[in-house]
Amino acid sequence: MQQAASAPEVLRLERAPLDLDEINEALDGAPADEIVRWAARTFGSGLVMSSSFGAESALMLHLVSREVPGIPVIFLDTGYLFPETYTFAEELAARLRLNLQVFGPRMTAARQEALYGRLWDQGDEGLDRYNQINKVEPMDRALVELKATAWIAGLRRDQTEFRAGLRPVELADGVYKIHPILAWSKADITRYMRENELPYHPLYHFGYRSIGDVHSTRPTTLDQDARDGRNLGQKRECGIHLPRTPEANASLKSSGL
C-alpha cells in the first residue's frame, strides 16, 4: 500500500526572537484592532489568519480584513463540515472580499473510513488520529506553503482551560500566535456582531453555538458551555492550537499524518 506523504515541518523562525514579555506588557488591555495593526506592522507578508467559519467567525474576519485587506485566510476543510458551513464560507468570502486559502487532508474522507473506520468513534486515540489527519497536518502544511511567520486566531480565554492561560502574543512551534480578542467576553462578541450587522452561522439559531464537523457537533442549551457541543463532550481542543513538544513533532512527522 502506498504510504501517505509525511507532514511538512512547521516553518521555523529566521529572525531574532521577539521579547514576548515586553510585547505582552505593552499590548495588555489594548483594543483588538490595535493588536491587529501591531501584527501587520511587525510581520508584514508573513501574517496569516485562520477561520473555522463557525458560529461567530464573521467577527474576526471583519475585524482583521478591515485592518489587513487581502490577508490569507486559512480555512481547513476536513471533508466533514456541515453543508451550511461551506455556503457560509462562500458568502462571507464574497461579502468581506476574503483571500480564502482552503486546505484539506491528504486522504479523502471515503479512504479514511475504508482504512480506519469512523475514527471519531474510537475513543481518545481515534479522535486524536482523526484530528492529526484532518486538522493538524493540513494546518501545518498551510503555514509552510503560505510562508507564515505569524498567525492570527480568534481564541478567547473564556473558551477552554488551555486558552485561559494564553497571552495576546505567544510563540508556538516556531510561529507567533496573535490573539486580538483574547480578553473579550460573550457580551463583547454580541455587541460587535450587532454594531457591525454581521451574520451568525446559519445553524447558530438552532442551538449550535460552537460548530465543527457534522459527526462531532451537537446543539447545546443555554445552561451549557458552548463547547460542550463539540466532539460530543470528549475534547475541548482539536489540536491545531496546542503547542507540541519536540517529541510530538517528531511523532507527527514519522507517522505520515
Q: Specify if 6 maps to a domain.
A: no
Q: Specify if 10 maps to a domain.
A: no
pLDDT tens across the length of the chain (257 residues): 344 444 444 444 455 689 999 999 999 899 999 999 999 999 999 999 999 999 999 999 999 999 999 999 999 999 999 999 999 999 999 999 999 999 999 999 999 999 999 999 998 899 889 999 999 999 999 999 999 999 999 988 887 777 788 899 999 888 999 999 999 999 999 999 999 999 999 999 998 888 889 988 887 767 666 656 556 444 454 455 555 444 334 333 332 22
Q: Specify if 200 maps to a domain.
A: yes
Q: How far is CA 196 from the centre of its chain?
A: 22
Predicted TM-score (pTM) of this structure: 0.83
What whole-number distance in Å separates Cα of residue 253 and Cα of residue 170?
A: 23
Instruction: Kindly compute the dihedral angle of the four CA atoms of residues 58, 52, 87, 185, in this order, to the nearest 10 degrees.
Output: -30
**Where in the sequence is the domain holding 176, given as residue range(s)?**
20-255
Secondary structure (DSSP) of 19-34: -HHHHHHHHTT--HHH
pLDDT of residue 247: 36
CATH of the domain at 209: 3.40.50.620
Q: From the candidates 71, 73, 166, 238, give the one annotated as an active-site residue.
A: 238
Q: Specify if 34 maps to a domain.
A: yes
Q: Specify if 79 maps to a domain.
A: yes
Q: Specify if 103 maps to a domain.
A: yes
Q: Is 238 a catalytic residue?
A: yes
Q: Specify if 12 maps to a domain.
A: no
* Strand (E) or helix (H) holding 113: helix 109-116
Look at the chain and report how many structural domains it folds into.
1
Q: Specify if 106 maps to a domain.
A: yes
Angle of helix 20-27 relative to helix 32-43, nearest 10 degrees? Answer: 150
pLDDT of residue 223: 64
